[in-house]
A and B are shown apart, each in its own frame.
Chain A
Amino acid sequence: MEVVKVWMADSNVAKFPNSIRTTGLGSCVGVTLYDPVTKVAGMAHVMLPSSTLAKNDEFKSAKYADTALPELLQMVLKEGASKARLVAKMAGGAQMFNFAGGSDTMKIGPRNVEACKEALKKLGIRLIAEDTGGNSGRTVELFTETGVYLIKTASRETREI
């Protein structure tokens, strides 16, 4: 079994028996798509909510929620997933630092979570589980055999969703 790595502002796919993993999610969100029959999984490490924030025309689709999810859908379909069977899970969207009267920049985590939900809804993909918010960093791994999404943090026990 191999572990497929996903970098920040990047996306990738994994097929059974491999798993797919990203490390150190803070305000970023790790969104996964999974087809339980073909056991194809995709993951995007979303950094920002909307591509309208981009100051540059050339950017990686995986960086923004609104462009990452449509692209991730195409990636898993290409690997044999069926759209009707796809289910989504997500984790991350924390607020790592507490600032008194913090600016919008500091509330990017919750905005990322909302934007990912919005993008999934637009694509008609069901979100079946999430572990979002709080103020802890997360390392996440999706296992293609079971579709289990494993979440580790620095302070608390690992959890599965």
Chain B
Amino acid sequence: MKDPIRNITAFQLDVLKEISNIGAGNAATSLSKLLNKAVDMEVSRVLPMHFNEITEYVGGAEHIVATVFLRIQGDISGNMFFVISTEAARELVKDLIGQAEEEFTEMSYSVLQEIGNILSGSYLTALSDFTGLDLQPSVPSLAIDMAGALLGEGLMELGRSGDYAILIDAKIGLRETLELTVVQNGGGHFFLLPDPESFEKLFTALGVQNHGSS
């Protein structure tokens, strides 16, 4: 099999960026309603990356993050992560239940799990509406642990084809805390990692075929 990731065009990358913007925009609206606060998003980034770079991108393999993970199946398949720093996770819990918790209790796990469900659900609904593709997300699961260990889980399927992934990164956060850098600084990231076989189907659904590839 030819590595679909190596043959992707600049135009196709722009298309991926746009669908990610639509998904994240929808998720930002949901978060804003949930918190009754102004929520912003940044223009998504599409980053073809070596596996090792992905964990560096989120602050290093040992960096502790809160992550909601789900597997997408249906017309296309892939993995999706919603990743936030533990500080941002505490803030979110505080905003929602009105009390600060030092440790992550069962209650805060449950709150974060629910936020993850709502946000990833609204992201994927927008994606599905826009592309007309049937996307069936698994029930999302939350874990707080080392970024390398958590994201590694989503690289298994991709690892069968190669060592590179296309990371589609969208960032949302509260207006006052959203900064331009990665996970450490309060924002939440949606990482979409489509399985390599899915790119063609995705581009076909969007009417953007591989004509311009070099």
Contacts and interface: CB of A to CB of B under 8 A. Distances in A.
Nearest to B147: A24
B139 A99 contact: yes
B121 interface: no
B17 to A, nearest CB: 26
A126 B120 CA distance: 45
A7 B143 CA distance: 22
B156 A108 contact: yes
A60 interface: yes
A23 to B, nearest CB: 4
B162 interface: yes
B149 A8 contact: no
B127 interface: no
A8 B52 contact: yes
Interface in B112-171: 138-139, 141-150, 152-153, 155-157, 159-163
Interface in B165-199: none
Q: Interface residues of A: mostly helix, strand, loop or mixed?
A: loop
A8 B50 CA distance: 10
- Range, interface on chain B: 20 to 34
A89 to B, nearest CB: 19
A63 B161 contact: no
Nearest to A94: B149
Contacts of B139: 99-100
A4 B85 CA distance: 28
B156 A97 contact: no
Interface string B79-105: 000000000000000000000000000
A9 interface: yes
B145 A96 contact: yes
B145 A137 contact: yes
Given A25-B149, A26-B150, A105-B71, A97 B159 contact: no
Given A8-B152, A48-B156, A55-B1, A24 B61 contact: yes
Contacts of A11: none
B27 interface: no
Given A7-B52, A23-B62, A96 B150 contact: yes
A9 B84 CA distance: 26
A56 B146 contact: no
Nearest to B145: A137
Contact of B153 (A9, A54, A56, A96): A96
B14 interface: no
A158 to B, nearest CB: 13
B157 A24 contact: no
A1 interface: no
12 contacts: A7-B51, A24-B147, A26-B145, A27-B152, A28-B152, A47-B159, A56-B1, A97-B142, A136-B145, A137-B150, A138-B146, A138-B149
Given A23-B62, A138-B146, 5 more contacts: A8-B148, A26-B149, A27-B152, A96-B145, A99-B141
Interface of A: 7-9, 23-28, 47-48, 53-56, 59-60, 63, 94, 96-100, 103, 105-106, 108, 135-139, 154-155
